[in-house]
Amino acid sequence: MTMTNKFLAMMALIILFLAGCGTLEQPSQAVQDSEGGTGSAGASDAETQAPDSNEVDTSLNKMEMDASMEQADGAITFNIEIINNNDEAVTLKFSSGQQYEITVENEKGEKVYQLSDSKAFADAIVEQVIDPSDKLTWTEGWDEPALEPGTYTVNYTLLPDQVNQQTVEANLFQIESTFDVGQDSSDNSVFRNVKVNGQAGKYTITGEVQASSSEFYYNVEDGHNMLVEETKVEVESKEAWNSFELEISISDDILPTNGTLTLVLYEKSIDNGGPTSSKYLPLDRFQ
């Protein structure tokens, strides 16, 4: 065999050897991908299992919180509930046994009661599942001390860290309401059962009004500036209790950096047109 033929034969063997190695390596990569080790199929499965934040936002919009209180025999009972109006179950995750906070403040903004100051909670994660159209309820009692006459503000806050495995912002579920102590009912017999829900410039206020005319008014101020000018609200019938709901929106650029937003509900005097039967409600606090 000539040198040329030997060289060609050797080259052919080398090419066949390299081709065989390449063929053997291909199935190995395919097996690795099918097991989800580093292949794209494994990544797709992980993405499919991750919670969808848009779905969580939709679920939150269909969650409804309510709160109330009862005064009887020198004691106060607080009631909290959250209703799931979704078509699927919702899971609330709490970082400890404390699932809610309740505080009470006097007219000066001084705290006279805080649930967590008088109660111990387990240091354990708690999960609560709410089925569709179902609700969770909590009841808390407070043996009322000798409170001075005046108007008191109750703040109810649910404390979930996550909803359906998605982290949620603090104070997402929060309601404020007021109650009176030691005052003649004739002091303000116009507004009752008023509740405030919302934060950061977006508020919903519900309650009942027994107006002497067919209307009442409200404004919002921070102690220095009028953030919402006088607004008139029509009622269905005068001298009877009518339910009302107010939606108040205040832009971020005029919200105070420090201070309290106060909602003022009132009627107007027939004699001089000035405010009368005024009721003051804190909407939000900034600091």
Going from the N-terminus, what domains does the chain have, and what CATH number goes with each? 53-183 (2.60.40.2360), 184-287 (2.60.40.10)
Q: How many whole angstroms separate alpha carbon 117 and alpha carbon 114?
A: 6
pTM, full prediction: 0.56
The whole-number pLDDT of residue 131 equals: 95
Phi, psi of 44 (to 5 degrees): -65, -40
The whole-number pLDDT of residue 126 equals: 94
Give residue-wise pLDDT tens across range 13-58: 555 555 555 444 444 333 333 333 333 334 444 444 545 666 667 7
pLDDT score of 6 more than 60: no
| β-bridge pairing 126-130 and 90-94 | antiparallel
The whole-number pLDDT of residue 115 equals: 94
Q: How many whole angstroms separate alpha carbon 157 and alpha carbon 173?
A: 6
Q: How many whole angstroms separate alpha carbon 139 and alpha carbon 284?
A: 25
The whole-number pLDDT of residue 43 equals: 41
Mean pLDDT of 214-224: 87
Distances (CA, A) of 225 to 185, 261, 262: 31, 10, 11
**Positive/negative CA dihedral, 166, 171, 177, 182:** positive
